[in-house]
Structure 1
Amino acid sequence: MIIKTGLGQDSHQFEKKSGKDLVLAGIKFDYPFGLKGNSDADVIFHSITNSISSITGKNILGDVADQLVKTGIKESAKYLQIALDDLGDWKINHIAVALECAKPKIANHVEAMKESIANTCQINRSDVGITATSGEGLTSFGRGEGIQAITIITVSKS
C-alpha cells in the first residue's frame, strides 16, 4: 500500500458590510458577514481542495477556479469536486481541519460540517476531524478579522 499526506491552507477576511452568506464546509452560518472572495470563500472547502492539490500536483484554486467564476460558478463545493476527481484511484483515509477564528463560534456547527465534508468527499463522518481555536487574539484571525483553515489529508492506494 502507498500512503500520501497532503497539506492545504486557506484564509479570508470578513466583508466590511453585511449581505454575503458565511459558508463553511458547505454550511451556511447565521452570521451577518461573509468572507471576501470572488467565490463563496468557503475556507474549509478551499483548504481541503488545496490539500488534495498538494497530492495530485494539479492546482485548482487559481486558474481553474478563476475560469469557473467567469462562468458564474462560485460554489467552493464545485472546486472541491474537481480536486476529488483528480485523485483518481487514491482513497481518502482521513481529513483533519484546524480552524482559527475569534468569531463566529464553531463548536455548535462541528457535527454538521463534518457531515457535509464526509458527504462531499464520500467518506465516513468518523474519518473527518475538525478542531477550532480562537487564536487568543494573537493573529488577525484571533482578532476576529477573518477565518483561517489548515487541512491535512491522508490518502492511500494499493
Structure 2
Amino acid sequence: MFHTETYGGTREEQYTLVIAQLKALIEGEPSRIANLANASALLGQFLRDINWVGFYLLEGEQLVLGPFQGLPACVRIPLGRGVCGTAAQKRETLVVEDVERFPGHIACDSASRSEIVVPLVKDGELLGVLDIDSPNLARFDETDRVMLERFVTELAARL
C-alpha cells in the first residue's frame, strides 16, 4: 500500500525518496501502462507548482499520449515538433523557462508557462518522453533535470 510521505531534507534527498517509492510501486509489475500510470501519479503528488505530468509514447514517427495527471492533452505530437517532439528527436532533456519563447511550442494547456521533457530510453531505444508543465515561469532547474533523468532511468529499466 502506498503512503504519502512528507518530503524533508534537500531537494536531492526528496527526489531520492521519490525514486525509492517508484521502485517499490513498480517492482514485479509487468504492465507498462500500469507502471507509467503510477509513475505519473507519484510525480503528480510529489512535485509542486505543476499543472500537468505524464508520458507520451513513441509510435512510428510520432508521440502518442500515455498515462498522465492533469487536464486533457494533445493526443499526437510529431517527432521534432514542440518541446516533446524535439526532446524525443534529439534524445536529450529540454528545460524550457518560457514556453512562449520556444519555436513551435504546442500549447495544449494555455496555463502552461514552463516545461521539462525527459526522453524515456531503454537499451538505446526511444520509448517516449516524460513531460511536465508548470504555470510558473522558470519552474524547472538543474536539480529537476538531473533527478528526473534518474527517475526516468529507473522507470525505463523496469519497462
Shorter-chain TM-score range: 0.3 to 0.5
TM-score of the two chains, using structure 1 as the length reference: 0.33
Identify which of structures 1 and 2 has the higher relative contact order when contacts are C-alpha pairs closer than 8 Å and 6+ apart: 1
